[in-house]
Structure 1
């Protein structure tokens, strides 16, 4: 069932992005009275799953889910329709339109992608608001267990003050990415500030390690959610909060793990908070340094009452959501641009982490969440927009590059040149596609 949920989210998001992107080309083409011969979701190599002709346009769904396209008359594109291009230009063809109209048609797809992302972020701000913890509230610092972070010099208890000179005000879902992309991290450790320089190949180091462990996380208390049937610790009960072990006071789960590791196979005294009262119990530490219990069970409100963190929840009116969503979209756009710079820098070795369709598929969770779905769709829309703007022939950015040359110089590149450029761009795209999806296969085989 989980795989069906993941696949449904993946296909819904991909289909939405493709259709809206192609509509971005379709609508200005029709406004400028340019004939659109085909409008397809997915590619119809040899045959289509569904198709219907309405007016001059054939609408359909292809069988190859690698994207989609609109075929515009008189345009040199992936169809490589040389027969049509060999005939004299017709008034309804793309090549007969002024350069500024052709430019608008080509920019339509990425424009829709960016607008969609901003609309989603505005809608999410209105529907879900914000939830975060201010960095000032982390009196005892953050949890740092990822090997890549530890090898770089970070320790649990460090407070993250700034990344590349930008002050960190709150802990939210974007902090880990900011740290991964950062060059210098200002921290406070035991009351002393210091700067840690991130290795140029940090992303590669992180990706070769345990990627399921966040770079930085919240330190949480040791809370018993349930006691397993095999556990000998019947003295423990659900909702118990561990306050001390073997005479040592503890506040956080990571502190408890250290003490348990040192007392494998022993029975030691413990203090738990139960029904708002401190209770003394004896606990048995197994050979693995564990108590045989399931952890968790405290909600945000309970963490606040116990004096750990105050979760700030902020809701917005529709008008307030607009600047909040625009700011979020702007930050995501800049952030993705920075990621591309890192990817294209060979020294970072981040190119090893380029993924294909399987990597995108794995971003989606196994349970349905509209909030997560829209958040992923928004960032994918930004990614699609930015990637299509790259000045590679066969991409929108390649067409835009040649159109700008034509507008500036007053000279239109020959059809033969554009055909050759399209072939080169197509080969390059296929190479990138094979590389990205080959990375997915390699990681699946080696397990990382």
Structure 2
């Protein structure tokens, strides 16, 4: 099956789960407070719906426009803009007739469910799969900075050891690029000296322009042959799988990052090399192509690298009880990191606004092969995004309604229906503008990057 189709299926499955549960977060407290819910819809039913069925006083359905979903609560100014109903005298079952604190709980229900859902998924993943990562402390000789543009922007180089980012000790190698994107300062160790550095304000823009190298911090591993293709120019040079390069053209090498510059300097030539095989050093000759390639497949698994002392893999298994705080902490950290990212988006100097994406960007977060742990981890992350975005104080979003309800509870004065109507219209146009901008960014990246 095509990777695009797999991503699309995952995207709509995830979106459907999140929308239904978000709207259920409004539906349940509304019903509990005896507020009438007229509609419960997955996706929007503009003009017509794909499916609908009325049960009791509520019509349940699936719309054709997959831009979200909604519950239509009686006596509430929402997407339906039902002016006729709002012009009538308030009924006891209507939203507007309920106490402010009940209306606040109803409006907060969606984002609350989104956050709880994310935490629940993280708890489940921790319990079912545990956690495995490369320990930053276990790296033998620091990190490999695979992209010089990103490394130069940060002022880091191969062999550096990351100590902390924003004052927090770096535990996991895999999270370093992510932490740097949202961080402000970090400390490295170079040749035994501690060096404090600041993350450039426009680093998000720099990494965006080099997105193919986003994972530019990797462990330093030896140059080990894993396979010799039949069409390799070195197929008959005497190499064998498992050979470890220790010298090229008279220059000692211990890591892959030391090999590639030598190949570049000697491209198109034949050089002397020394490989280690079963503890013995064997001299051979290697043909380097004009593209600075040896025509060999190289690689050392993380497990093998761990066995040989180049890195340290740590595995944590959680009991169900232990997975609860682990999942909670993961949810809180994901939310706080996302808030950090949003702060950078609103700072034009960072260039982070260029990374705002729409449906294509969200769909691209899913793996291109079916992987349940990755699917659920991505779904949890999107759930955090939905929780945060919906609580923003923009009219037409849950946060806009919450803002007006808090104003009412503090001042004792309820905004007029006419004001709420105009606010809803304004918020709707703001959302359309944001939607166009985000998806326009997706189109621009697809066409020009």
Post-superposition offset of 1:269: 2.4
Say if 2:387 is the partner of 1:389. Answer: no
- In 1, the alpha carbon distance for the partners of 2:372 and 2:63 equals 27
RMSD: 1.5
Deviations 1:145-178 (A, max 9, x none): 2312323321111111111222213323x32211
SS in 2 for 1:46: strand
Partner of 1:15: 16
The C-alpha deviation readout for 1:371-419, integer Å capped at 9, x for no partner, is 1111111111111001111000000000000011111111111000000
Question: Equivalent residue for 2:242?
Answer: 239
Structure-2 separation of matches of 1:151 and 1:275: 41
Instruction: Decide which of 280, 286, 290 is 1:287's aligned counterpart.
Output: 290
Q: Please tell me whether the aligned partners of residues 286 and 294 of structure 2 are also in contact (alpha carbons under 8 angstroms).
A: yes
Q: Distance in 2 between matches of 1:237 and 1:41?
A: 58
Q: Answer whether contact 2:144 2:158 (CA < 8 A) is retained.
A: yes
User: How much has 1:329 moved relative to structure 2?
Assistant: 1.3
Aligned-partner SS, 1:287: coil
Instruction: Tell me the distance in 1 between the aligned counterparts of 2:306 and 2:434.
Output: 49
- Picking from 351, 354, 357, the partner of 2:356 is 354
Tell me what 2:260 maps to: 257
- Cα deviation, 1:405-439, whole Å, max 9, x if unaligned, reads 11111111100000000011001010000011011
In 1, distance between residues paired with 2:267 and 2:82? Answer: 73
Q: Distance in 1 between matches of 2:116 and 2:327?
A: 11
Q: CA deviation at 1:275?
A: 4.9
Cα distance between partner residues in 2 of 1:129 and 1:210: 29
* TM-fit CA distance, 1:278: 4.1
- 2-structure distance, mates of 1:68, 1:225: 51
2:322 matches 1:320: yes
The answer (yes or no) to whether the contact 2:219–2:311 under 8 Å persists in 1 is no
Rounded to whole Å, the distance in 1 between the matches of 2:211 and 2:121 is: 32
Aligned residue in 1 for 2:217: 216
Partner of 1:269: 272
Q: 1:145 touches 1:213 (CA, 8 Å); kept in 2?
A: no
3-state SS in 2 of match to 1:64: strand
Question: Deviation of residue 290 (structure 1)?
Answer: 0.7
| Whole-angstrom distance in 2 between the partners of 1:321 and 1:256 | 43
User: Aligned pair 1:202/2:197, yes or no?
Assistant: no
Question: TM-score by structure 1 length?
Answer: 0.96
Match of 2:189 in 1: 188
List aligned pairs for 1:37-436, cutoff 5 A.
Answer: 37-146=38-147, 147-172=149-174, 174-234=175-235, 235-275=238-278, 277-296=280-299, 298-436=300-438
| Separation (CA, whole Å) in 2 of partners of 1:269 and 1:323 | 56
Q: Do the aligned residues in 2 keep the contact of 1:162 with 1:186 (CA within 8 Å)? A: yes
Q: Distance in 2 between matches of 1:238 and 1:36?
A: 67
TM-score by length of 2: 0.96
- Distance apart, 1:57 and its partner CA: 1.1
- State how far apart, in whole Å, the 1-side matches of 2:213 and 2:38 are: 47
List alignment gaps of at least 5 residues for structure 2. none
Q: Is the 1:144–1:150 contact (alpha carbons within 8 Å) kept by the matching residues of 2?
A: no
Residue 194 and residue 148 in structure 1: after superposition, are their counterparts in 2 closer, same or farther (change >3 A)? same
Q: Check the 8 A contact 2:139/2:311 in 1, yes or no.
A: yes
Native 8 Å contact 2:345 2:352 kept in 1: yes
Give yes or no for contact 2:153–2:200 (8 Å, CA) kept in 1.
Answer: no
Match of 1:32 in 2: 33
Judge conservation of contact 2:153–2:203 (CA < 8 Å) in 1. Answer: no
